[in-house]
């Protein structure tokens, strides 16, 4: 019991659900919340101009950053984090191979649209036409992965999902005609649309429109996931995460809702992939390394698993931190710190998790849990 | 599919697979030991192994050995081997202890949720492997020919080299020693006690923190030996070698039943052999894919691995 | 494991206590009558045996519950009460024998199917969903009969609003019924032990059961809390729900049940009204012979 004192009292205050900004937000009437949400959204839309803000602007948008691209990267990382949060944060299914769905979304798009694809006959599909098909394929893949693995408990599930992503990567590297390995797919079309001047909105030089597209998709995903969370579906997920057997005894159809979690997570991951393919115009097997899904998982947990604000923050951070290091040279070897980005990032992850084991923005529920758990700390 | 390839090369594939599997098994012990006590996947164990592979190379470098050196005579070979093993073991063991100290202990104090441990371990893994990557400019480093692979036994078409025998024998011996240690010594009894019931073990006066450090250390020692064997067998190492083989080792641990020492041995050998068969059958690029398909199939029928989960505990 | 000796003080050896091996003259205790479909019969445990490896946890146990009664399943610690209970709620599959609920076999059914069929339960060691609020816990139970799935929730279709509203109202009503409505918005982990036990009952009731099984609901309660609990159990029965009560505390069971079955070492040793069972020498032997914290 003496160990109770080890937990710093400051942390206790921060984690309290009804204090702080989140508590304040929760107590406000609907119209205040609506205004705050709209202002936040407005600020997000204006993010491409963040560099013009005096004083803090240059700190955020440093010389080395291609800011629009950096923002677009953040947008699909945030999407992935939101999707993985459904699987890991809500349903409690530890998925280490989430990048697999991202890859399927991107490859699905490429297969349908690119001139390099086996499926290419006389003309490829447009990006917009390919997107729903690619997403359907991704969802199906989620079900295919989910079905045999439902019986597996946490850590076993982790290794099997990791294997799933590896298999997709291996297929991509080892099928020179189908997924084309290193050569990859070129000429994947961009999203449609023309500006007033007749030029396409989604071009190759400026990634800003892609960021806005990504942002729009994120908003839709947030609304959708929120609707699911606050319903029988979300309650079933939480119940499964908390005590799967008790949930089933209380009438929760565990198999069905676990599969839904997989399918929805896959869908959102696929969305990220479709966007990515549309922006890059080129993908190959090097794009989808396993470290990628581990990074996304780190983002989700670092931000605060089981909570969308946390997932968004975590997703943005894992994308932004490495970019921020560009153009800074270290004092000893004068190499660009960007080289060290993942090494530094690893240290940052450890520091954040040690200081805030529940993530940067703990979910209300988890915060309460921690408060209680501190009382139970067994003497070590 | 290339059935004739598999049948023609069945013997060599088996022997290569056993040697590969022995390394995987030693590596897998680290995952299994930590899991058995903490119920957590030590994601950073791959980097424990990685620093072992570099540790012995650096030690050999002190004596001017590199991949272009000539093979040493027998006496020097023994000395170099001993040196390499000691340095690799020290490097891996210290890394394991450092990982526990930095990524696990602070969270344990604060009673963090299990996912948090996974993430700090991932952080440690990234930090170590990427630092090695930057320092080595992401180039591979060659291994000096300390032991020249020579065929010593020939059975039909199958040639077995001295190195392959050494690897398998060393793995079996280490496994036996570890098994005796866990099941026969006082420290081992502490490990078993904590793995079975951490709370009562603490009440009975077992120092849990010390047991956890010990378990990390033991995993590190085994990984150090595996690292030297890996260097000699493969001939090169690289900053991502730990990560790639780590996936195999983790798979092997799960395959045999994570938390189960004998399971790690069985899982490692089985995985090594089957991977090589799959490589013979489908081509070497499918080696890992086959391993995972196999894992899924086995887990479908035995959801807790071949031998079940347990560390020194009777099988249920 | 042998048949209990009848060596108890003879004032306890009353004529209406009968040895188990003989079929009961009246009542639903004879499983053979089940096939005819007595509408009063709710649950029949028919010669159920359950083995774990070499251990016989339940040995040829038979009894049956009638609609609207409060039925006690008692016995010393380790007698097989919870095992029996788990077999009835689908956690274990019996090695042999049958369990029929409203004439339908439960063997081989999935847990959530059994729940939706009308059997709800609480757990001996409270198993709430600790990070969910009290209200959400109960709503999970209420969801058992809901059909809202991903599409209706995602697009907020009429079914979602209808079920969400009725589920919430019903859940609040149940929280009031068990007396913890004021904790509805609190995370269940933060509830007191007694409140958690009540919340479990509310959650089970939310699945709209015909039969409610309570597994040692009074464990860890002080006498005042036990009195409240007894009143709650009676009120539950008065709403038309049949209650199966598992207890090793004889006194508690005596005060509330209509009929009782006593298990010892996985075998049924007595069956009857509380008065009959109380005076059954075999029961007394079982309780005196195996020191427990009963009474």
Q: How far is CA C20 from the centre of its chain?
A: 22
B42 close to B121: Cβ distance less than 8 angstroms: yes
Cα dihedral sign for A31, A37, A43, A46? Answer: negative
**Nearest-CB residue to C154 (from A228, A245, A253):** A228
pLDDT at residue A59 above 50? yes
CB contact under 8 A, A163 and B208: no
- Report pLDDT digits (tens) over B141-157: 999 988 888 888 888 88
Least confident of A21-25, B10-14, B203-207: A21-25
- For A297, which residue in chain B has the nearest alpha carbon? B119
pLDDT confidence tier of residue B21, bands split at 50, 70 and 90: very high
Phi, psi of C240, deg, nearest 5? 100, 5
- In this prediction the ipTM stands at 0.87
- Which of B106, B130, B292 has its CB closest to that of A340? B130
Rounded Cα–Cα distance for residues A190 and B18 (Å): 50
Degrees, nearest 5: CA angle A18-C140-C137: 40
Whether the per-residue pLDDT at C209 is higher than 90: the answer is yes
pLDDT more than 70, % of chain A: 89
Contact B66, B238 (CB under 8 A): no
Q: Look at residues B223, B283, B213 and name the one whose alpha carbon lies nearest to residue B253.
A: B223
The per-residue pLDDT for B311 is 52
| Exposure b/e, B66-97, CB count within 10 A at least 16 = b | eeeeeebeeeeeeebbebbbebbbbbbbbbbb
Tell if the CB–CB gap between A167 and B293 is shorter than 8 Å: yes
Write down the pLDDT at residue C131. 87
Note the pLDDT of residue B1. 67
User: In this structure, are residues B296 and B252 in contact, taking their beta carbons and an 8 Å threshold?
Assistant: no
Residues in chain B within 8 Å Cβ distance of A170? 285-286, 288-289
Yes or no, beta carbons of A3 and B109 under 8 Å apart = yes
Average of per-residue pLDDT across A227-254? 93
Dihedral of CA atoms B229, B220, B99, B306 in degrees, nearest 10, equals 90
Q: In this predicted structure, which of A6-10, A336-340, B184-188, B278-282 has the lowest mean pLDDT?
A: A6-10
- DSSP letters, A105-116, are HHHHHHHHH-TT
Pick from A59-63, A106-110, B239-243: least confident: A59-63
CA distance C33 to C26: 11
**pLDDT attached to residue C24:** 39
Per CB-CB distance under 8 Å, the chain B contacts of A168 are none
| Stretch A166-178: mean pLDDT | 88
- Count of domains for chain B: 1
Q: What is the pLDDT of residue A292?
A: 83
Considering only alpha carbons, which residue of chain A is nearest residue B43?
A294
Q: Do B128 and A374 touch (CB under 8 A)?
A: no
- Neighbour count for residue A192 (Cβ, 10 Å): 13
Per-residue confidence at C37, pLDDT binned at 50, 70, 90? low
Average pLDDT estimate for B159-183 = 93
Q: What DSSP string describes A307-335?
A: -HHHHHHHHHHHHHHHHHTTT-B-TTT--
Q: Say if strands B236-237 and C41-52 run parallel, antiparallel, or are unpaired.
A: unpaired
pLDDT value at residue A365: 53
Domain range enclosing B259? 3-314
Optimal mutation site among C89, C113, C128, C131, interface A, most CBs of chain A within 10 A: C131
User: Nearest to residue C70, comparing CAs of C262, C221, C240?
Assistant: C240
Average pLDDT score over residue span A145-158: 80
Q: Which residues contact C141 (CB under 8 A, 6 or more apart)?
A: A250, A251, C120, C171, C202, C203, C204, C205, C206, C207
The answer, for B101 touching chain A at a CB cutoff of 8 Å, is no
Residue C213 has pLDDT above 80, yes or no: yes
Q: Does A160 touch chain B (CB under 8 A)?
A: yes
Q: Once rounded to an integer, what is the mean pLDDT over residues A165-177? A: 88
If we measure between CA atoms, which residue out of A285, A312, A289, A286 comes closest to residue A300?
Answer: A312
pLDDT (0 to 100) of residue A209: 93
What is the pLDDT, as a whole number, of residue C285?
Answer: 81
Read out DSSP for A215-284? HHHHHHHHHHHHHHHTSHHHHHHHHHHH-HHHHHHTT--HHHHHHHHHHHHHHHHHHHHHHHHHHHS-B-
Q: In the block, which residue shows the tokens 């691995």? A: B305
Query: What tens digit of pLDDT does each residue of C170-203 get?
Result: 999 999 999 999 999 889 989 999 999 999 999 9
Q: Judge whether C233 and C245 are in contact, CB under 8 Å.
A: yes
Residue C1 has pLDDT above 50, yes or no: no
Task: Kindly tell me the sign of the dihedral angle through the C-alpha atoms of A94, A96, A97, A101.
Answer: positive
Give the bridge partners for A336, in sequence order. A329
The confidence score (pLDDT) of residue A367 equals: 45
| Rounded Cα distance, C24 and C20, in Å | 8
pLDDT score of A368: 44
Dihedral sign computed on CA atoms, order A102, A108, A110, A111: positive
Both tokens of A290, joined, read 């396993």
Per-residue pLDDT for B192 more than 90?
Answer: no
- The ranges assigned to domains in chain A are 64-189+205-288
Task: Tell the residue number behind the tokens 């031998």, with chain if given.
Answer: B307
Give one word for C37, left, alpha or beta, with left for phi > 0 and alpha for psi -120 to 50: left
Chain C positions touching chain A (beta carbons under 8 Å): 89-91, 110-112, 115-116, 120-121, 123, 127-132, 136, 139-141, 143-146, 148-150, 152-156, 160, 163-164, 167, 187, 189-190, 203-204, 207
Nearest to B123 among A158, A350, A357 (CB): A350
Q: Can you tell me which residue has the tokens 């859940």?
A: C171
Position A118 scores a pLDDT of 84
Rounded Cα–Cα distance for residues B245 and B287 (Å): 12
- pLDDT over 60 at B316, yes or no: no
Tell me the chain A residues in contact with residue B131 when contact means C-beta distances shorter than 8 Å: 340, 343
| Cα–Cα distance, C50 to C99 (Å, whole number) | 12
The CATH number that applies at residue B69 is 1.10.3470
B297-315 pLDDT, tens per residue? 888 788 778 887 655 443 3
When the pLDDT of each residue in chain C is averaged and rounded to a whole number, the result is 83
Alpha carbon distance, N-terminus to C-terminus of chain B = 40
- Name the percent of chain A lying above pLDDT 90: 46
Using the beta-carbon criterion (under 8 Å), do C144 and A250 form an inter-chain contact? yes
Residue A371 confidence (pLDDT) above 70: no
Closest CA to A216 of A194, A191, A199, A188: A191
Nearest residue to A139 via CA among A105, A92, A113, A107: A105
Which backbone phi and psi does C80 adopt, to 5 degrees?
105, 15
Task: Select from B119, B129, B203, B301 the residue whose CB has the most chain A CBs within 10 Å, as the one to mutate to test that interface.
Answer: B119
Calpha distance C161→C158 (Å, rounded) = 5
Is C129 close to A245, i.e. CB distance below 8 A? Answer: no
pLDDT over 80 at C50, yes or no: yes
Contact A227 C149 (CB under 8 A): no
Quick check: A84 pLDDT over 90? yes
Q: Token pair for residue C111?
A: 């847990």
Task: Take residue C169 and report the two structure tokens written for it.
Answer: 């109202």
Joined tokens for residue B273: 């052999």
Q: Do C150 and A246 touch (CB under 8 A)?
A: no
Select from A227, A212, A175 the least CA-distant residue to A74.
Answer: A212
In chain C, which residues have their Cβ closer than 8 Å to the Cβ of A260? Answer: 149-150
Give A306-365 pLDDT, tens digit per residue: 889 999 999 999 999 888 887 777 777 777 778 888 888 889 889 988 998 888 888 765
Give the three-state DSSP class for C269. Answer: strand
Buried-exposed string B222-252: b where 16+ CB fall within 10 A, e elsewhere: bbbbbbbbbbbbbeebbbbbbbebbbbbbbb
Q: Which residues contact B247 (CB under 8 A, 6 or more apart)?
A: A162, A166, A290, B46, B288
What pLDDT, in 10s, does the model give residues C52-85?
877 888 899 999 999 999 999 988 877 888 888 8
| pLDDT reading at B294 higher than 90 | no
């Amino acid at each position: 019991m003496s160990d109770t004192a080890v937990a710093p009292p400051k942390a206790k205050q921060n984690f309290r659900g009804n204090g702080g900004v989140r508590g304040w937000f929760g107590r406000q009437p609907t119209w205040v919340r609506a205004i705050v949400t709209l202002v936040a959204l407005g600020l997000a839309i204006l993010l491409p101009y963040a560099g013009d803000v005096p004083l803090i602007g240059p700190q955020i948008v440093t010389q080395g950053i291609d800011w629009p691209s950096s923002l677009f990267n953040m947008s699909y990382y945030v999407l992935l984090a939101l999707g993985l949060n459904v699987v890991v944060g809500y349903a409690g299914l530890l998925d280490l191979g989430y990048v697999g769905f991202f890859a399927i979304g991107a490859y699905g798009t490429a297969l349908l649209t690119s001139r390099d694809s086996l499926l290419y006959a006389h003309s490829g599909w447009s990006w917009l036409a390919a997107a729903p098909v690619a997403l359907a394929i991704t969802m199906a893949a989620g079900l295919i992965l989910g079905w045999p693995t439902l019986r597996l408990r946490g850590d076993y599930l982790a290794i099997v999902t990791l294997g799933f992503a590896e298999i997709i990567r291996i297929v991509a590297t080892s099928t020179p005609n189908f997924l084309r390995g290193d050569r990859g797919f070129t000429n994947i079309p961009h999203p449609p649309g023309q500006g007033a001047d007749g030029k396409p909105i989604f071009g190759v030089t400026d990634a800003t429109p892609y960021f806005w597209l990504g942002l729009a998709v994120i908003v839709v995903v947030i609304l959708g996931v929120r609707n699911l969370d606050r319903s029988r579906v979300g309650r079933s997920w939480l119940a499964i995460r908390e005590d799967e057997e008790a949930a089933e005894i209380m009438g929760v159809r565990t198999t069905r809702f676990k599969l839904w979690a997989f399918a929805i997570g896959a869908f959102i991951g696929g969305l990220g992939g479709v966007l990515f393919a549309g922006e890059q115009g080129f993908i190959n097997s090097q794009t989808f390394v396993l470290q990628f899904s581990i990074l996304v998982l780190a983002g989700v947990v670092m931000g605060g698993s089981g909570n969308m604000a946390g997932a968004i923050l975590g997703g943005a951070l894992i994308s932004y931190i490495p970019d921020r290091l560009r153009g800074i040279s270290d004092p000893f070897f004068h190499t660009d710190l960007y080289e060290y980005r993942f090494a530094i990032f690893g240290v940052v992850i450890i520091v954040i998790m040690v200081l805030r084991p529940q993530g940067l923005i703990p979910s209300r529920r988890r915060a309460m849990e921690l408060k209680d758990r501190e009382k139970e700390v067994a003497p070590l | 599919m290339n059935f004739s390839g598999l049948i023609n090369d069945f013997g060599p594939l088996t022997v290569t697979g056993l040697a590969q599997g022995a390394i995987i098994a030693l590596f897998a012990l680290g995952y299994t030991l930590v899991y058995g006590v903490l119920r957590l996947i030590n994601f950073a164990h791959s980097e424990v192994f990685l620093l072992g592979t570099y540790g012995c190379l650096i030690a050999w470098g002190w004596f001017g050995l590199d991949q272009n050196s000539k093979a040493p005579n027998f006496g020097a070979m023994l000395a170099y081997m001993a040196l390499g093993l000691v340095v690799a073991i020290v490097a891996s063991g210290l890394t394991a202890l450092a990982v526990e100290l930095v990524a696990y202990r602070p969270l344990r104090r604060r009673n963090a949720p299990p996912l948090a441990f996974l993430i700090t371990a991932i952080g440690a893994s990234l930090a170590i492997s990427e630092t090695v990557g930057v320092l080595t400019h992401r180039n591979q480093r060659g291994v000096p020919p300390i032991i020249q692979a020579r065929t010593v036994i020939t059975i039909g078409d199958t040639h077995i080299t001295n190195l392959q025998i050494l690897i398998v024998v060393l793995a079996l011996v280490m496994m036996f020693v570890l098994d005796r240690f866990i099941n026969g010594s006082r420290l081992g009894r502490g490990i078993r006690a904590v793995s079975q019931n951490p709370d009562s073990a603490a009440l009975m006066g077992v120092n849990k923190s010390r047991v956890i450090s010990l378990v990390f250390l033991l995993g590190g020692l085994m990984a150090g030996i595996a690292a030297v064997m890996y260097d000699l067998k493969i001939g090169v190492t690289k900053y991502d070698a730990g990560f790639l083989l780590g996936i195999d080792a983790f798979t092997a641990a799960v395959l045999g039943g994570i938390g189960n020492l004998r399971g790690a041995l069985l899982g490692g050998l089985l995985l090594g052999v089957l991977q090589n068969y799959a490589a013979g059958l489908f081509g070497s690029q499918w080696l890992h894919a086959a391993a995972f398909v196999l894992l899924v199939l086995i887990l479908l029928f035995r959801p807790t691995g071949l031998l079940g989960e347990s560390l020194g505990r009777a099988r249920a | 494991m042998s048949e209990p000796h009848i060596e108890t003080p003879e004032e306890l050896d009353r004529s209406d206590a009968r040895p188990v091996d003989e079929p009961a003259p009246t009542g639903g205790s004879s499983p053979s009558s089940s096939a005819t479909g007595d509408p009063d019969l709710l649950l029949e445990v028919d010669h159920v045996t359950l083995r774990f490896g070499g251990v016989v946890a339940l040995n040829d146990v038979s009894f049956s519950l009638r609609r609207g009664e409060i039925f006690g399943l008692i016995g010393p610690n380790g007698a097989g009460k919870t095992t029996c209970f788990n077999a009835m709620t689908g956690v274990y599959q019996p090695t042999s024998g049958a369990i029929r609920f409203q004439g339908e076999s439960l063997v081989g059914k999935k847990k959530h199917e059994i729940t939706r069929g009308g059997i709800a339960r609480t757990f001996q060691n409270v198993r709430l969903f600790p990070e969910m609020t009290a209200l959400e816990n109960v709503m999970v139970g209420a969801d058992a009969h809901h059909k809202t799935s991903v599409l209706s929730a995602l697009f907020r279709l009429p079914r979602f609003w209808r079920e969400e509203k009725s589920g919430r109202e019903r859940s609040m009503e149940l929280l009031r019924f068990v007396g913890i409505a004021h904790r509805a918005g609190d995370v269940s982990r933060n509830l007191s032990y007694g409140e958690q036990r009540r919340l479990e009952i509310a959650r089970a009731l939310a699945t709209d059961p015909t039969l409610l099984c309570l597994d040692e609901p009074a464990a860890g309660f002080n006498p005042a809390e036990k009195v409240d609990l007894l009143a709650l159990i009676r009120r539950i029965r008065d709403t038309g729900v049949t209650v199966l009560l598992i207890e090793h505390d004889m006194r508690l069971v005596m005060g509330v049940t209509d009929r009782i079955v006593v298990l010892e070492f996985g075998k049924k040793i007595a069956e009857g009204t509380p008065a009959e069972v109380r005076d059954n020498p075999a029961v007394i032997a079982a309780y005196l012979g195996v020191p427990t914290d009963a009474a």
